[in-house]
Structure 1
Amino acid sequence: MKIATFNINGIGARLPRLLEWLEESRPDVACLQELKAPDERFPEREIAAAGYNAIWHGQKSWNGVAILARGMDLHETRRGLPNDPDPAHSRYIEAAVGGIIVGGLYLPNGNPIPGPKFDYKLAWFEALLAHAGTLFATEAPVVLAGDWNVIPTESTDDVYSARRMGGDALMQPESRACFARLRHAGWTDAVRAIHPAGPVYTFWDYTMNAWPRDAGFRIDHLMLSPAAADRLIDAGVDREARAKEKASDHAPTWIKLR
């Protein structure tokens, strides 16, 4: 089973790129973030024509998450986090599909720092950690996939320049500490399990000539419970998607499970 995460950065504007990627990469399950569209504007017909069932949690102009499944039924298990500090934001959706629980998430960016947006980021992360603990206790195979808006380390394996990103919410010690707590609780960072060293960037800003310079960083992650991690056989990033015209600033990131 191939499971991917893709911050599409506006499903209306990027729908041709999304459909193109679905045809080329053919993930079995795809978690999407930043739909930037209310529920009624989700392109259900086009997604179905591409062979995918879908559930989504939209929001006008901002946020929005979805899970797509190719030729499989999706059984929604949760919409929004328990104890979400601001449930008006559409940032989490969860489904049972193919014998796996998949949680699709869009963690708050948190900029500028310090301030209420960063406080909200940390509060949302705490709610996610609590829910992750509940999922972990089931001993089921679980994949938490999405745009985590966290650069895990200061290494060039994860960020082109820790100095340049040092003042960003994505690299603050508090953000990285929350991500580390998830790993220490027994969740596996799937991409790093397959690629333990070397840059595996998933995001390149539209400004500063970032893509041609490969000035990227890693913020799109798939975290696996032990039952899912035992089945992990491959992981990667579809970098070529970022190079296309009118592309998202993120590249799809994926894993394969037995």
Structure 2
Amino acid sequence: MRIASFNINGIRARLPRVTEWLAETRPTVACFQEIKCQDDSFPAEAFAELGYQAIWHGQKGFNGVAILAHETAPIEVLRGLPGDPEDEQSRYLEADVNGVRIACLYLPNGNPQPGPKFDYKLRWMERLRQRMAAIWAAEIPAVVLGDFNVIPRDCDVWSPQAMADDALMQPESRDAYLRLLNDGWTDAIATHNPRGGVWTYWDYQASAWPRDHGFRIDHALLSPECADRLTAAGVGRAYRGREKASDHAPVWVELRD
């Protein structure tokens, strides 16, 4: 079972890249972030032609997440992260696919920091931890994946000095991420790349892609039930180099059936 995540940075603008990636890699489950479209504009028909059924949680021009499953329908469990009834941003979607709980997320960026956006990021991460604890307590095989907007370690960025003031690398952001791991979740990409040096994001500015100035902010966290089934994990780096690509590369994990 291959489960993948891709911050596509506008699903309608990059639909040819998305369908190309699906056709070439055929993940069992595909999670998208930053779809940047309202619910009635999501291109579900294009995915149905490839054998994928979808659920999505859209928002006009910003955010938005989706879960696709190959030759089966994702069974929606939760739309929106609990804990703040006033939070209207579309950043979280949860579904069951083939006996595995899939949580697709687009965590707040938090810049500029300090400030209200960074405070929102930290509150959101605490709400996420509470939701993940509930999944854990139910002993549900689960994969929580997406754009976490956190660089966990210095070896996950091309230059720690260059990103030192960014919200993605602040001690509070890293501590909140580390608490998830300390709760017993497994960082699949880090497990297979313990020395780091694997990027999932390259900015469009300052020739970041040709200079390989990237960092790792797209993650897949596995519950113990799925960590025991993990056989492989990686990053589809080549997709970042294609024409009109997203500034992210897809990440994926493979689980034994």
Please, what TM-score do these two structures have when normalized by structure 1?
Answer: 0.98
2:184 paired with 1:190: no
Provide the residue aligned with 2:10 in structure 1. Answer: 10
Provide the residue aligned with 2:141 in structure 1. Answer: 141
CA contact 1:85–1:124 (8 Å) conserved in 2: no
CA contact 2:190–2:196 (8 Å) conserved in 1: no
- In the TM superposition, what is the alpha-carbon distance from 1:12 to its structure 2 partner? 1.0
Provide the residue aligned with 1:51 in structure 2. Answer: 51
- Gaps in structure 1 of 5+ consecutive residues: none
Provide the residue aligned with 2:37 in structure 1. Answer: 37
Provide the residue aligned with 2:199 in structure 1. Answer: 201
CA contact 2:47–2:53 (8 Å) conserved in 1: yes
1:144-182 Cα distance to aligned partner (Å, 9 max, x none): 010000000122xx0000000001000000000000000
Separation of aligned partners in 2, 1:246 and 1:35: 15
Shift in CA distance, 96/68, structure 1 to aligned 2, threshold 3 Å:
same
SS at match of 1:12: coil
2:249 paired with 1:251: yes
Separation of aligned partners in 1, 2:86 and 2:244: 31
SS at match of 2:78: strand
CA contact 2:58–2:65 (8 Å) conserved in 1: yes
| Pairing of 1:53-68 with structure 2 (within 5 A) | 53-68=53-68
SS at match of 1:118: helix
What is the count of residue pairs matched by the alignment?
256
Provide the residue aligned with 1:23 in structure 2. Answer: 23
- In the TM superposition, what is the alpha-carbon distance from 1:139 to its structure 2 partner? 1.0
2:211 paired with 1:213: yes
Provide the residue aligned with 2:76 in structure 1. Answer: 76
Separation of aligned partners in 2, 1:87 and 1:175: 20
Separation of aligned partners in 2, 1:99 and 1:87: 29
Separation of aligned partners in 2, 1:116 and 1:130: 21
Spell out structure 1 runs of 4+ moving beyond 2 A.
Answer: 84-87
Separation of aligned partners in 2, 1:182 and 1:130: 10
Separation of aligned partners in 1, 2:58 and 2:248: 19
CA contact 2:75–2:96 (8 Å) conserved in 1: yes
- In the TM superposition, what is the alpha-carbon distance from 1:87 to its structure 2 partner? 2.6
- In the TM superposition, what is the alpha-carbon distance from 1:198 to its structure 2 partner? 3.5
Separation of aligned partners in 2, 1:24 and 1:132: 32
2:223 paired with 1:225: yes
- In the TM superposition, what is the alpha-carbon distance from 1:51 to its structure 2 partner? 1.0
Aligned amino acid, residue 53 of structure 1: Q
Shift in CA distance, 34/86, structure 1 to aligned 2, threshold 3 Å:
farther
CA contact 2:37–2:64 (8 Å) conserved in 1: yes
1:125-151 Cα distance to aligned partner (Å, 9 max, x none): 110000000001111110001000000
Shift in CA distance, 215/139, structure 1 to aligned 2, threshold 3 Å:
same
- Gaps in structure 2 of 5+ consecutive residues: none
SS at match of 1:9: coil
1:31-88 Cα distance to aligned partner (Å, 9 max, x none): 1000100000000111111110000000000000000001122100000011136431
CA contact 2:56–2:93 (8 Å) conserved in 1: yes
Residue among 236, 239, 250 paired with 1:238: 236
Separation of aligned partners in 2, 1:216 and 1:84: 33
2:176 paired with 1:178: yes
